[in-house]
Amino acid sequence: EPEVTQTPSHQVTQMGQEVILRCVPISNHLYFYWYRQILGQKVEFLVSFYNNEISEKSEIFDDQFSVERPDGSNFTLKIRSTKLEDSAMYFCASSEDGNIYNEQFFGPGTRLTVL
């Protein structure tokens, strides 16, 4: 069964450093998403991406964040200058064929720890 994959599973970085979280969505999917979950808190929407551009972003997704689909398979989330409060699980998700009512498939997540 196809699945969303994410790398790395755990990333440790120093405050102020740049990190890139990588995701490989399911191959025929057209909508892509990033969510995050701070430990013990709820899952929060960050950004949605369709047709090679951001379609919606939340207030959390400020200028320190960016997303990119550099090739036909990868979908990345970059945090330019990490802060302690960026420590969280980051989940990538994708859904198929542009029908926004379809289910989203989530990856296993990347745990980001900012020291």
Residues that bind another protein (CB under 8 A): 4, 31, 33, 35, 37, 42-45, 48, 50, 55-56, 58, 89, 91, 93, 95, 100-109
Closest approach, Cβ 81 to another protein, in A, equals: 25
- Using the minimum distance from each CB to another protein, give the nearer residue, 14 or 40: 40
Q: How far is the CB of 16 from another protein (least distance, A)?
A: 27
Look at the chain and count its residues. Answer: 115
- Judged by beta carbon, residue 14 or residue 62, the one nearer another protein is 62
Nearer to another protein, 11 or 58 (CB): 58
Closer to another protein by CB, 4 or 79: give it: 4
How does DSSP assign the chain, residue by residue? Answer: ----EEE-SEEEE-TT--EEEEEE--TTEEEEEEEEE-TTS-EEEEEEEETTEEEEE-TT--TTEEEE--SSS-EEEEESS--GGG-EEEEEEEEETT-TTSPPEE---EEEEE-
Could you tell me how far CA 113 lies from the centroid of its own chain?
15
- Closest distance between another protein and the C-beta of residue 41, in Å? 9
| Shortest distance (Å) from residue 43 CB to another protein | 4
